[in-house]
Amino acid sequence: MKPSILLPLLLLLFLAASSSAHPRLLALVKQQPTILTYHHGPLLKGNFDVTLIWYGHFTPAQRQVLADFVASFGHRIPKPSVDSWWSTTSLYKYPARHAPKWTNLRLVNQIVDSNCSLGRSLTRDHIAQLASLGGKSYSINVVLTAADVLVDNFCLNVCGSHGTSSVRGSRSRFAYIWVGNPATQCPGECAWPFAKAVSGPPTPPLIPPNGDAGIDGMAITLATLLAGTVTNPFDSGYFQGPATFPLEAVSACTGIFGKGGFPGYPGEVLVDNKTGASYNVNGANGRKFMVPAMWHPRMKQCVPPV
C-alpha cells in the first residue's frame, strides 16, 4: 500500500480479516465523496508507547530514519512538522467522560529479528505473533518487514495494515501495525511518489527526503496507519463506508500531499535546496518526511500539511 498514495485514481481501503486479530488492510476502491462519520466506538486517546519490531535485514541507517519519524510525534519543531500534522487527530472527538483530547506517541523500544525467526513468508497470524513481542498496555506495536520478506497480500492490494490482538489470559487488546518495505517488490504501488507509478499520469518520481524510496515510502504508510489506528481502532470509530471496508482518517485522502494534489499528482510540496528532495513536514533530528493529507473533521475535507 502506499498508504494514501497508491495506484492513481484509486483509493486505499481497509479489509477485515483474521480470527485471532482484526487487521484492516489498505486496499483499492473507486473514488467517492469523503465524509467520515463517527460510529460511537472508542478511540485511542492519551499516552501510548510505540515499539518498532524490525523483521529481516534493515541497515542501521534505515532503522534510524523510521525511529526518527516516530520520535517526531510530540517533538516541537518549526511548522510544517510531523507533530503539527498529527495534531489534527485531536479534532476527532471521543465523547467518553474525562477522555483526553490528545493522542501522544512515544518510542520506547526497538526489537530486531534480522534472522527471520518465523521464515521469510509470513501470514497475518505471523504478523500478530510478532506484534505480541511489544507492549500490551497503552501500546501500539509496529512490525516492519524487510524488502525480501513476503507477507500475505503485500503488493497485491495492500502495503500495510493495522489491527488489534488479544492479550493471552485477559480480555484486553493491544493495537498493532504492519508495514512492508516495497523497495523491490512493488515500488510503483507502495513507494510512490518516490518511484514511478504503475499507471496514471507519467509524472517523474520525486527525490525521497531520506535518500531511500523504500524507507520513505514506509514512512508514508506508517503515517497513514497510525492515524487509522487511533481514530478507528476497533471498527467503530471514524470512517466512511461499511465497517469491513472503511476509508479512514488518511486512507480517505489517497494521493494528496500538497496543494492541488490528487491520485497520480502529489501536489505542491517543499523541495530541499541542497538535495533537491521533496518533503512536506519537518521531523526530529533534522529529518524531513512526506506525510499524506488527513481528513479534517471541522473543515470536512482532506487537508495536506503544506
Q: Which of 207, 202, 228, 229 is nearest to 141 (CA)?
A: 229
pLDDT digits (tens, 9 = 90+) for 165-195: 877 766 678 999 999 999 999 999 999 999 9
> Chain centroid to CA 191: how far?
12
Could you tell me the CA-to-CA distances from 170 to 21, 96, 166, 195 in Å, in that order? Answer: 14, 23, 7, 44
Query: Distance (Å, rounded) from C-alpha 217 to C-alpha 190?
Result: 6
Q: Does residue 3 lie in a domain region?
A: no
Query: Is residue 1 in a domain?
Result: no
What residue has cell string 526530529? Answer: 284
Q: Within a domain: residue 185?
A: yes
In a domain, 2, yes or no: no
Q: Does residue 235 lie in a domain region? A: yes
- Write b or e for each residue in 29-39: b if 16 or more Cβ atoms lie within 10 A of its Cβ, otherwise e: eeeeebebebe
pLDDT of residue 72 exceeding 90, the answer is yes
Q: What is the mean pLDDT of residues 207-211?
A: 98
In a domain, 4, yes or no: no
Q: What is the pLDDT of residues 18-56, one digit of tens each?
A: 333 445 555 444 455 689 999 999 999 999 999 999 999
pLDDT score recorded for residue 254: 86
User: Per the domain annotation, does 30 fall within a domain?
Assistant: yes
Range of the domain at 189: 10-303
Q: Is residue 201 part of a domain?
A: yes
* Amino acid symbol at 202: P
User: Grid coordinates in use for 53?
Assistant: 519490531
What are 117-170's pLDDT values in tens digits?
Answer: 999 999 999 999 999 999 988 999 999 999 999 999 999 879 999 999 877 766
Angle between helix 60-71 and 213-231 (nearest 10): 30
Quote the number of domains for the chain: 1
